[in-house]
Structure 1
Amino acid sequence: MKAATSLVVFSDLDGTLLDHDTYSWSAARPALSALRRIGAPLILSSSKTAVEIAKIQKELGISGLPAIVENGAGLLDARPDAADDYARLRLQLDRLPRDLRAPFEGFGDMDAARVAQITGLSLGDAANAKSRAYSEPGLWSGDAQTRAAFITALAAQGVSAREGGRFLTLSFGATKADGMAQVISQLKPRYTLALGDAPNDAEMLTAADFGVIVANPSRAPLPPLSGERGNQIIRTQHPGPEGWNMAVLAILKQLDLDQERDPTHG
C-alpha cells in the first residue's frame, strides 16, 4: 500500500493564492517551490469552473492532481453528467417570483463580455468562467431584506447561497469541506492545511488540521472561527499570495517538513 503523504494543502484561489486584483500568484513562488520539493500535493479549491482550474493547474505545474471546483459542488473530472446540476439550478432560480429573481444577475444571465467586465478577466477566460456544471455565481443588486427572502426561497427548493470573495454563489448545498473529505480519503495525508479568505472557505478551514485566513482588504474580514481560539486557525497580516507564502512556509517549519525531500527524487 502506498504510504500516506506528509501534508496535503487545500487552497482557495481569488484573494488567497491569487491576488484579488491581478490574479497573479508570483508572490507565492517560494512556498510553491517548497511544497513541490517535499512532495506535498496542492489541491486547488475554488468557485471557479473545471476548465478554469485545469488551466491554473497547468500554469502552476500541478496538472493531474485532484481539485475542488465550483465552491465544492464537484471535483475536477468527477462526473461527465454534471451539467444536469447546472440546468436544474437555473430552472429553480427562474421559478422564483419576479421581485426576488430580478436583483440577482447570475453568470447564466450574462454574456462573456459582461463577465469580463465585472471580473477583469480576458474574454476567453470569461467564457471559461461561464462553463458551469454545478453552481451559479452572481451579483446581488437588491436590498438586504429582499436578499434574505431570496435566500430563504431558494433554500425551500434545496438550493444554498454562499458568499465568496466576489460573488453570491448558488448550488445544491455541497461545500469545499465536502470535496476536501473526498480528496483526503484518496490521499490519506498525515496533516492537512487549508487556506482561504471568504465565508465559503469557513468549513474547509475548520475541517483542516491547520487553517489560514488570508487577509483580503477588498472585503470585510471573516468573523472569528472556532478554531482560532486554540490556534488551529491563524490569520495573515499580508494579503493574497504574499500572506499565503509566509503562512505556508511558517507551517512547514512548524511541522519540521521544510527540509523533507520528495522520495521520488532521492
Structure 2
Amino acid sequence: MIQLLVFSDLDGTLLDHDTYDYTPALPAIADIKARGGLLILASSKTAAEMLPLHQALGLEDTPMIVENGAACLSPAYIGSKDADYRAIREVLRSLGAPFRGFGDMSVSEVSAETGLSMVDAARAKTRQFSEPGVWQGDAHQSAGFLAALARQGITARRGGRFLTLSFGATKADQMQQLCRSYAPSYSVALGDAPNDIEMIATADRGVVVRNDHSPDLPGLANYPHILRTTLAGPTGWNDAMLQILDELNFTQKGAAAHG
C-alpha cells in the first residue's frame, strides 16, 4: 500500500520560473522515495514535455497529470490521440476571438513566450487535450469569450503564464481519482498558480509555493492545513516538503485516507 502521494505543479513550483531548474528539490524528492511515497507531476505541460523530466527524476511508472488535468497518463501509454485538441481549435476558429493559442504560434514563438528551448517548445506544441494561450482582448471581450466557450463545454483556467482551455477535467479531479485508486494514508499538493487552488485545498496538506511572477492565490487564507513558503520555486518546495515529511513521522499512523 502506498502511504504517501505528493502532487506537484511544475513551472514556478518544482521548476524555477526562469531557469526550469529542479535540483534544489532533489533532497526532498529522495526523502519521498525513501518513505515509499509517490511523486506525481501535475502540470499544464503536455505528456511529451513532461516525460523527459519524469524520467530524469526516476519516477518509473508513476502516472502523470498532464495538460492542466485534462488527462492522467502512465508514461508507458503516452499516445497521439488529439481529438479533444482538434475540437478546441475548431471552436476557436469559429469564434475569431483575440486569443492567441499555441496552435497559432510557431515553435520559435512558443520558445519566446515560455523561455523553453526549441526542442522543448516543439514538445509544448504536441498537444492532445488542451490549448494554452494569451488573451489579447479587454475584460468585456473576455467575459463574452468565456461564455461562448462554456456553451461548447470548454472551460478556461488561468495558470502562471497562460489561459488554458480544455473540456473540463482539472488537476484536482485527477488527484482525487488517483487518491481513490491508491488509497494513501496522506496526500500533499504543491502549486503556485490559480489553476492549482483546488488541488492544494483538497489534499490533506497543501503548499502554496512563492512565485513573485504569479498572481497571489485567493480563497486559501482560512485553510489551516495550507503552508505558504517564504522561498520561491524548488528551494521553497524542498523546504516545505522536508518540513511536512518530518511532521509525518508523528502523524502518518493516525492520518485518514483522503479522497
With structure 2 as the length reference, what TM-score do the two structures score? 0.92
1:114 Cα deviation (Å)?
Answer: 0.6
Q: Is the 8 A contact 1:205 1:212 kept in 2?
A: yes
What is the DSSP-based 3-state SS (H/G/I as helix, E as strand, rest coil) of the residue aligned with 1:237? strand
Distance 1:245 1:72 in 2: 23
Structure 2 equivalent of residue 239 of structure 1:
232
Candidates 130, 142, 145, aligned match of 2:140: 145
Q: Gaps spanning 5+ residues in structure 1: where?
A: 259-266
Q: Could you tell me how far apart the structure 1 residues matched to 2:243 and 2:211 are?
A: 19
Q: Which residue of 2 aligns with 1:124?
A: 119
Alignment of 1:1-266 (within 5 A): 4-77=1-74, 80=79, 82-96=81-95, 98=96, 101=97, 103-225=98-220, 228-256=221-249
How many residues in Structure 1 have an aligned counterpart in Structure 2? Answer: 250
Deviation at 1:224, TM superposition (A): 2.9
Aligned partners of 2:208 and 2:229 also within 8 Å: yes
Identity among equivalent positions (%) equals 52
Q: Deviations over 1:209-237 (max 9, x none)?
A: 11001110012211132xx4241112111
- TM superposition shift of 1:185: 2.4
Distance in 2 of aligned mates of 1:144 and 1:104: 12
Query: How much does 1:82 deviate?
Result: 3.8
Counterpart CA distance in 2 for 1:63 and 1:147 is 41
- Deviation for aligned residue 1:26: 1.1
**Structure 1: distance between partners of 2:11 and 2:199:** 15
C-alpha contact 1:38 1:257 (8 A) present in aligned 2: no
Determine the C-alpha separation between the residues in 2 that align with 1:126 and 1:142. 24
Shift in Å, 1:257: 7.2
Give the Cα separation in 2 of the matches to 1:189 and 1:24: 29
Q: Distance in 1 between matches of 2:223 and 2:189?
A: 16
Work out whether residues 54 and 63 of structure 1, in 8 Å CA contact, stay in contact via their aligned partners in 2: no
CA offsets, 1:172-225, max 9 Å, x none?
A: 011001111222222221100000011111111111111001110012211132
Quote the offset at 1:81 in angstroms: 6.8
User: Matched residues in 2 for 1:52 and 1:90: separation?
Assistant: 20
Q: Aligned equivalents of 1:230 and 1:166: distance in 2?
A: 25
Contact 2:47 2:78 in 1 (8 A): no
In the alignment, the residues of structure 2 paired with residue 85 and residue 8 of structure 1 have an alpha-carbon distance, to the nearest angstrom, of: 28
Report the alpha carbon displacement of residue 159 of structure 1 after superposing the two structures with TM.
Answer: 0.6
Most deviating of 187-196 and 215-224? 215-224
Letter in 2 for 1:58: Q
Mapped to 1, the partners of 2:58 and 2:31 lie a distance apart of 13
Report runs of 4+ in structure 1 exceeding 6 Å deviation: none
Match of 2:255 in 1: none
Query: Residue 13 of structure 1: CA displacement?
Result: 0.2
SS at match of 2:6: strand
Deviation at 1:37, TM superposition (A): 1.3
Residues 75-84 or 194-203, more deviating: 75-84
**SS at structure 1 position matched to 2:249:** coil
Q: Given the two structures, how large is their TM-score scaled by the length of structure 1?
A: 0.90
